[in-house]
Amino acid sequence: MTLLLDDPYAAAALLRTGELVAFATETVYGLGGDARQAAAVVAIFAAKGRPHFNPLICHFAEAGAAFDEVLPDSRARALAQVFWPGPLTMVLPRHPRSRVELLAGAGLETLAVRVPAHPRALEFLRAAATPVAAPSANRSGRVSPTTARHVLEELSGRIAAVLDGGPCQVGLESSVLDLTGPMAVLLRPGGVSRAAIEAVIGPIGAALPINGGPTPTLRSPGLMLSHYAPNLPVRLEAREVAADEALLGFGAALQGAGLAWNLSEGGDLAEAAARLFSGLRWLDAEGTRLGLRRIAAQPVPKEGLGAAINDRLTRAAAPR
């Protein structure tokens, strides 16, 4: 059965033996395996039910270790100075001598690397002393976990342990930035805003459209439109709400819903990000139990962290 651990050293020891260990980061919980052990990497895809063409992020305790596996340029070094440890993932050319399993990067010539900011994750990664491949610790296509309990709900019995680190403070996944071309491209909006990245390296390429435009699946195979999918359908930009709907509120909540969760009464985007995935999970479970028809989400501003929040909501609402 799956152990719930508090000790990062015990968790690291398990990982070294090839076991899968979910661990808290500041963004969401990751489903970790030793990126240098083929069997562990294969097991990550299996436990998550993830298609093999969708590459994993490698996690490190410090920038030096991350940059041993890739070919960082001056932009990558500058960004690491400012944002690591923190919610930024950089996609860079793989180092020709990297011993990270090719499957971890889905066979691509590139590798996504990140140094997370959670103190317990850093202790775990330092003790593991190997690149730790980790997608979000949810079943493929579902909402990312922000507590150890969320992880156990979906992965109990499929992984050796969860390293508990409490509720995730950021609550949204890292921003994924592709630095393999002359123009940096934001593949996934996340915990570090586009404006903050541009303040360090100048203008970056347009975020790939998720509404209408060409499918972004080639450049970042994981950016499938239907993702973060609750069981109940999701209605966006709700300006009124019905009694058979579960309300995901923001700011002054609409009245009349059958069930309600407010992301942030004060309209604070950081608070809203941290409460988004727990809210979706709770409304989905309770709303289903109460026989409600769908989740209605109030508008959230699109600036700063709001870009990432709206990205996740759009995916949660996408046709399946």
Applying CB under 6 A, which residues contact ligand TXA? 25, 27-28, 30, 54-57, 87, 89, 91, 105, 108, 110-112, 114, 116, 134-136, 173-174, 176, 187-188, 220-223
As a whole number of angstroms, the distance between CA 189 and CA 43 comes to 28
SS3 57: strand
Which residue number, 117 or 297, has a Cβ lying nearer to ligand TXA?
117
Which one of ligand TXA, Mg ion, none interacts with residue 187, CB within 5 to 8 A by kind?
ligand TXA
3-state helix, strand, coil in the chain (%, to 5): 30, 20, 50
Q: Which two tokens stand for residue 39?
A: 């069997």
Q: Which of 27, 37, 136, 175 binds Mg ion (CB under 5 A)?
A: 136
SS3 220: coil
Residue at shortest CB range from ligand TXA: 222
As a whole number of angstroms, the distance between CA 154 and CA 150 comes to 7
Which span sits near Mg ion by CB under 5 A: 86-94, 132-140, 256-264, 279-287?
132-140
Phi, psi of 259 (to 5 degrees): -165, 145
Burial class (CB in 10 A: 0-12, 13-18, 19+), 245: buried
Which residue number, 30 or 287, has a Cβ lying nearer to ligand TXA?
30
Which one of ligand TXA, Mg ion, none interacts with residue 111, CB within 5 to 8 A by kind?
ligand TXA
The residue count for binding Mg ion (CB under 5 A) is 1
Q: Which of 127, 100, 79, 84 is nearest to 35 (CA)?
A: 100
* Least CB distance to Mg ion at residue 144 (A): 5
Residue at shortest CB range from Mg ion: 136
* Least CB distance to Mg ion at residue 146 (A): 12
Which residue number, 31 or 241, has a Cβ lying nearer to ligand TXA?
31
* Least CB distance to ligand TXA at residue 128 (A): 14
As a whole number of angstroms, the distance between CA 22 and CA 4 comes to 10
Which one of ligand TXA, Mg ion, none interacts with residue 54, CB within 5 to 8 A by kind?
ligand TXA
* Least CB distance to ligand TXA at residue 136 (A): 4
Which one of Mg ion, ligand TXA, none interacts with residue 89, CB within 5 to 8 A by kind?
ligand TXA
Phi, psi of 252 (to 5 degrees): -65, 115
Which one of ligand TXA, Mg ion, none interacts with residue 192, CB within 5 to 8 A by kind?
none
As a whole number of angstroms, the distance between CA 317 and CA 312 comes to 9
As a whole number of angstroms, the distance between CA 70 and CA 162 comes to 28
Note whether 69 and 94 are within 8 A (CB).
yes
Which residue number, 294 or 312, has a Cβ lying nearer to ligand TXA?
312
Q: Which two tokens stand for residue 102?
A: 């090719």
Q: Which two tokens stand for residue 137?
A: 């610790």
* Least CB distance to ligand TXA at residue 104 (A): 9
Which one of ligand TXA, Mg ion, none interacts with residue 229, CB within 5 to 8 A by kind?
none
- Contacts to Mg ion by CB under 5 A: 136
